[in-house]
Amino acid sequence: MDPVDLERLIAAALAAQRRAYAPYSQFAVGAAVLTANGHIFSGANIENASYPLTICAERVALFCAHMAAAGPVTALAVVTPTPTVASPCGACRQVIFELAPHAQIVLLNADGSDRRFTTPAELLPYGFGPEQLHER
């Protein structure tokens, strides 16, 4: 990924993290996706007193990009308020696997000093996708 695009993507994820609504967990997460046409879509986790209605930052960003018909997602940045990087939850891994199957993913700690690069296939080995629905 182009270093300038990477820094733009990380800046968007950090900015999104500041807009998280996390009154219950106090675990604010920010995410941003970069599409093939250079657009960036961001998201933050949004909690709810009815916990199952909470949505993660990664899914917010991916759903926004999808709804904008912005084209393929080429990269995803996720920042967590932790001293080391934290990986997306299982639900987010599944959505990433389907909506951003070829994206480069960068996971960041609270201040962005710890950066780990990965792929959807590494996050969800042997993932379930549309292809499996047609294998029956």
What is the tens place of the pLDDT at every residue in 38-47? 999 999 999 9
Catalytic residue among 7, 58, 98, 131: 58
> Who contacts 14 (Cβ-Cβ below 8 Å, separation ≥6)?
30, 79, 108, 112
Of 23, 5, 7, residue with least CA distance to 112: 7
45 annotated ligand-binding residue: yes
CATH code of the domain in which 32 resides: 3.40.140.10
64 annotated ligand-binding residue: no
Residue 28 domain boundaries = 3-133
Q: Is 135 a catalytic residue?
A: no
Q: How far apart are the first and last CA of the chain?
A: 37
49 annotated ligand-binding residue: yes
Give the whole-angstrom CA distance, residue 49 versus residue 78. 24
| The total number of structural domains that make up the chain | 1
pLDDT digits (tens, 9 = 90+) for 45-96: 999 999 999 999 999 999 999 999 999 999 999 999 999 999 999 999 999 9
